[in-house]
Amino acid sequence: MPKPTVSAVKPMDVLRSSIEKNVLVDVKGNRGYSGILEGYDIYMNLVIRNAGEMIGGENKGVYERILVRGDNVIFVSPSKGDER
């Protein structure tokens, strides 16, 4: 019996499909950002537009554009509202 074909989803594929969409980014230090992913690189450095900052679950403000250094990233989640 042939084995079913499994297609692996790669991290860069998820980031690529999230460009110009809302994402939630959790980083070290009990911080998080939500906004529109503008770009990324192979080190998972992220550029986020209209980034809302959350510290300890509390909203701290909104930034026009931020750069999140990749080695601080815990996870990146595409927003459910942007799924197609």
At 80, the pLDDT band (50, 70, 90 cuts) reads low
How far is the C-alpha of 71 from the C-alpha of 2, rounded, in Å?
41
Strands 22-27 and 73-78: antiparallel
> Would you call 44 helix, strand, or coil by DSSP?
coil
H/E stretch holding 69 reads: none
Domains delineated in the chain: 12-82 (2.30.30.100)
What pLDDT is attached to residue 40? 97
Whether 5 shows a pLDDT value over 70: the answer reads: no
Report CA-CA distances (Å) from 64 to 2, 10, 52, 80.
Answer: 52, 29, 9, 22
H or E stretch covering 36 = strand 31-40
Confidence of residue 8 (pLDDT cuts 50, 70, 90): confident
Model pLDDT for residues 27-79, shown as the tens digit of each residue: 999 999 999 999 999 999 999 999 999 999 899 999 999 999 999 999 999 98
